[in-house]
């Protein structure tokens, strides 16, 4: 059984979609092909992979409550390609959004359902994930957690001569357990969808989110975007920047 995983994020590196696709791949067996869909130049290569595939998993961000336009363009071509060749693949979808409610991906899921009906494909179902940006940060925090464990172990060797530092491992374990907890909803539904993909069965639409209370999410999201603004465009992006006025 061959499954094609399509990353529909336009980002070149560290997209949330690449994180969720990595997790989804863990739960799917058989032949697995990963593709990135960013420009029309990718279309031909991806479509050729569909010829002998049984399932395709789209993983993409939610843009303005809908499917990003570059993915829509690909879906139009895929519809023509599949109807011409009489392909009847099962289509699954993982959508993630920046706000906390995963249910905001419902209109996007409906687009995929209609796309399957129009293309003669089988709608397998999907998982909508809220707080995608923050969940993506948890994988970076996990790497930081490992780095801290290594540093603390080195310090322990220097101070006591012992390679095993109980404090370092307790701190590592606590942080790792917390990060795992934030991801539990996603892991549960992706495991469930992975099982459906393996069986070629439908799994319906499910919505989940980062497992933290909304008021904590808002606080951290505000801090996060202030920091990002400072690094990527100055405070309040262009608000305080000099404006270039048109000459009349
Ligand atoms: C143009 C644009 C539109 C967006 N629209 C929404 C939206 O309607 N609702 C939402 O919750 N997040 C929205 N987001 C946030 C993305 O869905 C979010 O950052 C997502 O995690 C990006 O996934 P990626 O890293 O895989 O590209 C938007 C982001 C961009 C750049």
Residue 239 falls inside a structural domain: no
pLDDT of residue 238: 62
DSSP the chain: -EEEEEE----SSS-HHHHHHHHHHHT--SEEEEEE--SGGGHHHHHHHHTT-SEEEEEEE-BTTB--HHHHHHHHHHHHHHHHHT---EEEEEEEESSS-GGGGHHHHHHHHHHHHHHT-EEEEEEEEESHHHHHHHHHHHHHHHHHHHHHHHHHHHHHS-S--HHHHHHHHHHHHHHHHHTHHHHHHHHHHHHHHHHT---EEEEEE-SS-HHHHHHHHHHHHHHHHHHHTSTTTTTTSPP-PPP-
pLDDT band at 20 (very low <50, low <70, confident <90, very high): very high
pLDDT averaged over every residue in the chain? 94
| 88 falls within a domain | yes
Task: Indicate whether 248 pLDDT > 80.
Answer: no
Q: 6, 10, 67, 98: which to mutate for ligand 1, most atoms within 8 A of CB?
A: 98
pTM: 0.93
pLDDT above 70 for 108: yes
Query: Of 150-154, 173-177, 236-240, where does mean pLDDT reach its minimum?
Result: 236-240
* φ/ψ of residue 235, rounded to 5: -60, 135
User: Is residue 226 a part of any domain in this protein?
Assistant: yes
pLDDT at 126 over 60: yes
pLDDT tens per residue, range 186-226: 999 999 999 999 999 999 999 999 999 999 999 999 998 88
Distance from Cα 128 to the centre of ligand 1, integer Å: 12
61-70 pLDDT, tens per residue? 999 999 999 9
**Is-contact 129 108, C-beta < 8 A?**
no
- Asked if the structure places residue 242 within a domain, the reply is no
Q: Using an 8 Å Cβ cutoff, are 35 and 8 in contact?
A: no
Largest alpha-carbon pair distance within the chain?
75
Mean pLDDT of 157-178: 94
Express each pLDDT in 73-100 by its tens digit: 999 999 999 999 999 999 999 999 999 9
| 133 touches ligand 1 (CB under 6 Å) | yes
Mean pLDDT of all residues in 171-187: 98
Q: Is the CB of 88 under 6 A from ligand 1?
A: no
Across 7-11, average pLDDT? 98
CATH code for the domain of 8:
3.40.50.360
pLDDT (0 to 100) of residue 211: 97
Question: Is residue 145 assigned to a domain?
Answer: yes
Report if residue 165 sits inside a domain.
yes
- Residue-wise pLDDT for 39-67, tens only, equals 999 999 999 999 999 999 999 999 999 99
Domain boundaries, position 186: 2-232
Q: What is the pLDDT of residue 156?
A: 94
Kindly state if the Cβ of 7 falls inside 6 Å of ligand 1: no
What pLDDT does residue 247 have? 59
Is 246 inside a domain boundary?
no
CA–chain centroid gap for 57, Å, is 12
C-alpha distances out from residue 74 to 11, 18, 36, 42, 47, Å: 16, 18, 12, 9, 9
**Would you place residue 241 in the very low, low, confident or very high pLDDT band (cuts 50, 70, 90)?**
low
CA–centroid distance, 229 to ligand 1, in Å, is 16
Q: Give me the number of domains the chain comprises.
A: 1
**Sheet holding 31-36: strands in order across?**
31-36, 2-7, 55-61, 90-97, 122-130, 204-209
pLDDT band, very low/low/confident/very high, at 246 (cuts 50, 70, 90) = low
Quick check: is 243 in a domain? no
From 22, 62, 93, mutation site for ligand 1 pocket: most ligand atoms within 8 A of C-beta = 62
Mean pLDDT for 115-144 is: 97
Nearest Cα residue to atom 22 of ligand 1: 61
Q: How many whole angstroms separate alpha carbon 54 and alpha carbon 157?
A: 53
């Amino acid at each position: 059984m061959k499954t094609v995983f399509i990353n529909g994020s336009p980002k070149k590196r560290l997209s949330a979609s690449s994180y969720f696709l990595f997790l989804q791949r863990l739960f799917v067996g058989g032949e697995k092909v990963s593709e990135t869909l960013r420009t029309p130049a990718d279309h031909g290569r991806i479509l050729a992979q569909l010829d002998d595939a049984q399932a395709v998993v789209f993983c993409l961000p939610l843009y303005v409550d809908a499917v990003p336009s570059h993915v829509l363009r690909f879906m139009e071509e895929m519809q023509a390609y599949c109807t011409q060749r009489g392909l009847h693949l099962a289509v699954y979808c993982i959508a993630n959004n920046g706000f906390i409610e995963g249910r905001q991906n419902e209109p996007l899921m409906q687009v995929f359902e209609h796309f399957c009906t129009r293309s003669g494909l089988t709608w397998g179902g999907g998982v909508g994930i809220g707080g995608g940006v923050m969940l993506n940060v948890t994988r970076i925090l996990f790497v930081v957690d490992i780095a801290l464990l290594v540093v603390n172990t080195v310090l322990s060797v220097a101070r006591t001569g012992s390679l095993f530092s109980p404090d370092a491992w307790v701190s590592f374990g606590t942080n790792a357990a917390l990060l795992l907890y934030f991801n539990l909803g996603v892991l549960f539904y992706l495991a469930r969808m992975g099982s459906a993909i393996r069986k070629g069965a439908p799994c319906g639409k499910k919505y989940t989110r980062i497992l933290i209370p909304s008021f904590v999410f808002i606080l951290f999201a505000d801090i996060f975007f202030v920091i990002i603004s400072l690094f990527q465009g100055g405070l309040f992006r262009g608000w305080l920047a000099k404006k270039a006025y048109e000459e009349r």
